[in-house]
Structure 1
């Protein structure tokens, strides 16, 4: 098992990357891509099955593109994720690994997500079996994109990612739209009425549903809203968006709250985090708590430290560690996220946080550091691309005593660690599995100043 959840095979000294298989499978391959140094292949016939294989539990496995590791047992998934972190740190980061804590697995390996986004399509994807049957099938679909196809949607019957009533709500909306002959969206022609459905569940029991439509047909919109209100009284935030744009993003669009409050709450250790329709929040709330708890532990806070929280998002980590810190400075690129961060401090009566919005390499300046002081601890949780070289250079210049680096991409994390190795030692490493049934893994590294 190698990068991106694929397996490695060799033929005539040529490396072949193969998805959808397990180490030990004996297969016939069809080569789908050929480069000078590698090829990609697809298994078309199995001669022997690996002992690591298990029976996938979802009827949509292998088609919708989600949960690509269902065919491998969860304990085995964790072993490969830990190996992925170790290999990246050693090969890319050239890190001489100290204490390497075993990966922290998720207590739940199904129904662990608190947010899913589904897409409508009037020309739903048919499987090979359906095509070969010669029968007519309902093509109006509400589900997930086929991998690599922006315009093809697989109609989902049951999804194992989000707990009830997520499946029931999705099916109710789809069936209502079919029964009332609403036009399902066509991404190629940019036509149709119903576009997307977003469902957010919270560990407080609160529930948000957002319907996105192409044009403002109030009779049709209110019909769906009323249908959901009657059949799912547990929805605490029922909203809709009229999105006339060519893409599905709605961060610059008005969100109309039909029923309840325009937000829901997640909670950690008594701290409540307000989650609006445009807010970012970790999609595995239980594991997010573990991630932040370990981050706080690595930071070694005593109540006297000045903490800089880089890429703070909605200020989740900043507010989570504020009670153990003298002061926390949070920096984030997205202005709306910073507004969420300020609200989250406010509703929890946290007064020792300050937040700034803007490009990290510009905001993290000599002027900011002169104003607030040199940080004792820096917590950084950058996007998958890692930290900008200017940010790394600034951290080396400021030279805090400890840096806690949280990453969703151990490869770019390892690259940044090598850049900081002149002034920092890697003291601890803790992988955390946020996304069971996938190859993705989060990793926390504690850096201490030399």
Structure 2
């Protein structure tokens, strides 16, 4: 087969923003997906036909949209993290809300009320409390660097280029986390280059500097995790340097990862200095966050999210609540003081350990947490032992709930279900399976991730 031809489409009017962060136009009744365009733009693009649509590259903005703004990040367009940074924040919120409506109509096909206005983020920059960076000797070289005819140092510390497992975009400044994180990352990279330390090559499986992960809390805690291929004398010297250079890091940890992939959640952590956790505070509750534990990455918005869960659930003193995918027990503890008892289920064991400790530290005694696969644990025997809940709260990962979990919820028939989701498409799919016994009472979007297409959504379902 011959190579597919690219065509130039001139004066394409951008009409919409799609679910994956790309904008949408139409050419001769065919959809054209254009990354980094903004609804209202008139653009020239280079497009390639992909079955029933075009995928295009933005070439020229003929008429800028009134919703287009100048992105503050120098890495915009190369880094795939903030695909909507060129769109004003009010417009971002509109399209996030539209994404939920579109998913419910197209995928769910169930009746639902008008959405409550999306809860905007108070901070649209420096809101993330967790960030991960990757070392690589094969960083992405920018076009302007190539034209300078100088020897290029290809060592980088940054984010993976989309679709390339062995390439990273070297980051100078990320606007999504506190600025101290930029100073730490740049200082460590400079130290590594000065001491000629080997950056991990994901293609050749060589080198020993692999990853950095930082976690921040609104209480002022800062955790740094350094992942090495092996822990040798050079690693020890580097950890000593970091400890002396950055006294504000009060949880300094390292991991030895001898695997080919970068996943460290299954590996033991080693405390080098300080505490083995950080602490986050929400309302009058305190939460311990261990290195591997999940915690919402935008804590200010998470507080709005949890308060909305509590408002939707309206838990009474005589009611039993199940909290599915409980994580470190944040939602469970938020509603526990109003309930008779809360039972949380979570598949990550260290998170359950943290959940028990969080309950103890907050003097909450009417909670229980069980570790294991929810699809297997949530069965008639479990309900017989724990009791039938009047309310089920579910906050699954992006893939949504397992069909067996939905089947069991339908068998339990709680009076209310509060469904928290970071993926409107899988949420719509799951609600469609529940809708013959439940009606959608309220829908509340929450923006946890400004400048991305991602949106969190809460749905209150009431038994018919």
State the TM bucket, normalised to the shorter chain: over 0.9
1:329 aligns with 2:339: no
Q: Choose which of 366, 370, 377 in structure 2 pairs with 1:363.
A: 377
Q: Distance in 2 between matches of 1:223 and 1:305?
A: 55
Which of 262, 269, 272 pairs up with 2:286?
272
Q: 1:16 aligns with which of 6, 28, 32?
A: 32
1:258 to 251, 262, 272: 272
Q: Distance in 2 between matches of 1:116 and 1:52?
A: 29
Return the offset for 1:134: 2.3
1:73 to 88, 91, 101: 88
Superposed counterparts of 1:280-429, under 5 Å: 280-429=294-443
TM-score (norm: length of structure 2):
0.94
Aligned-residue offset at 1:355: 1.3
Q: Deviations over 1:249-269 (max 9, x none)?
A: 112222111111111111112
Q: Distance in 2 between matches of 1:133 and 1:440?
A: 38
Distance 2:269 2:430 in 1: 38
Structure 2: 5+ residue runs without aligned partners? 1-16
Q: Is the counterpart of residue 26 in structure 1 residue 45 in structure 2?
A: no
Structure 1 counterpart SS, 2:20: helix
Matches of 1:8 and 1:261, distance apart in 2: 48
Shift of residue 33 of structure 1?
Answer: 5.2
Q: 1:130 matched to which residue of 2? A: 145
- Cα deviation for residue 39 of structure 1 reads 2.4
Whole-Å Cα distance in 1 between the matches of residues 213 and 432 of structure 2?
Answer: 40
C-alpha contact (below 8 Å) 1:90/1:97 kept by paired residues = no
* Counterpart position of 1:52: 67
| Aligned Cα root-mean-square deviation (Å) | 1.3
* Structure 1 outlier segments of 4+, above 3 Å: none
Structure 1 CA distance for aligned equivalents of residues 82 and 49 of structure 2: 23
| C-alpha distance in structure 1 between counterparts of 2:309 and 2:224, whole Å | 31
Alpha carbons of structure 1 residues 30 and 381: separation in structure 2 relative to 1, 3 Å: same
Alignment coverage as a number of residue pairs: 448
Q: Report the equivalent of 2:21.
A: 5
Match of 2:158 in 1: 143
Deviation at 1:176, TM superposition (A): 0.6
State the Cα deviation string for residues 252-292 of structure 1 (Å, max 9, x = none).
22211111111111111221111111111111111111111
What per-residue deviation string (whole Å, max 9, x for no partner) do you get for residues 172-201 of structure 1?
111111111101111100111211011111
Query: Which has the larger displacement, 61-70 or 7-16?
Result: 7-16
TM-score (norm 1): 0.97
Residue 322 of structure 1: how far off its partner (Å): 1.2
